[in-house]
Amino acid sequence: MTVVVTTSPGFGKHGKVPGLIKDAGWEFIRCTDKDRADGGLSEHIARADYLVVGLVPVTADTLTAASNLKGVIKHGVGVDNIDIPACTTSGLPVCNTPAANADAVAELAVGLMFSMARFIPQGHGSVTSGGWERRVGSQLGGKTLGIVGLGNIGKRLAKLARGLGMHVVASDMYPDKAFAAEYGLEFLSLQELLATADYVSLHVFGGKGNAALINRDSLTSMKPGARLINLARGEVVDLDAVAEALASGHLGGVAIDAYVQEPPAIDHPVFSHPNAIFTPHSGADTLEALENVGLMVIEDIKTLIAGEMPVRCLNAKDLCARDV
């Protein structure tokens, strides 16, 4: 059986996962050609029994060449790069791995808040360049964190932030009022949140509905000097508008982990601003998270091989309706 993978090279290499893959005897083909938009998927998709997807798009055209494919599993949570209706039409279950990397992403968000609050990257650069520039930062305790998208990651971040003594507000299409009551957070509209928060952390899905969610107007609505964190998808933030807000001083800092183009074109002015921090879409890159995701992926493939429907299948109901 052949599994074609378009995820990061870390998939299948941590914890119990390598042993399970070896015991299963599956052939793994990794499509990680950085010089090709699809990582080389088009060369191997015809051989795939199962496709484990990272950020490479899975379209109707992709599926046309996938004559042996029996299932699509997202290595992560966001499935905006997978054409689920096309998969359903082709009779293909689509699964993801909810909550497997929530702790990792939430902890990076906290790390980025500390980095901006205490100017950690700037201090490191000062010392290693032979300088000694001491900058007065601020504490996170008592500040307001605005979480846009209170899913598994957002909830974990809310718990961490409350533990730091932060006030937490959130914006979500489906407010979990029981969680809010338990952890003492308040739901606001997006505009109210932006006007209130000292730190805004984005944890929404990508796709057309959230494209440029943070734009010139929404940045203008932010509290002067507030900091922005994007651990969601690149298209959620208008980088031109962010660069302008940084240059004017209205935006106090930004930390970005996801980009429309990866790697990004670093000639954009946002990449030269001293109050901007960048990470290489590594929010989920911890040993623990990669093992968690890998275990879920293997479990779902084994379930599909057994002729059963995984509990994490996103289009199970539509597939059942199709077969009636």
Active site residues: 233, 262, 281
Q: With contact defined as beta carbons under 8 Å apart, do 87 and 61 qualify?
A: no
- Say if CB 276 and CB 246 are below 8 A apart: yes
CA distance 218 to 229: 14
DSSP single-letter state for residue 214: B
**Which among 163, 171, 202, 167 has a CA at the least distance from the CA of 184?**
167
Helix (H, G, I), strand (E, B) or coil at 217: helix
CB atoms under 10 Å from CB of 302, counted, come to 13
Q: How far is CA 196 from CA 130, 169, 199, 224, 243, in A?
A: 39, 9, 9, 10, 21
How would you class 7 by CB atoms within 10 Å of its CB: exposed for 0-12, middle for 13-18, buried for 19 or more? buried
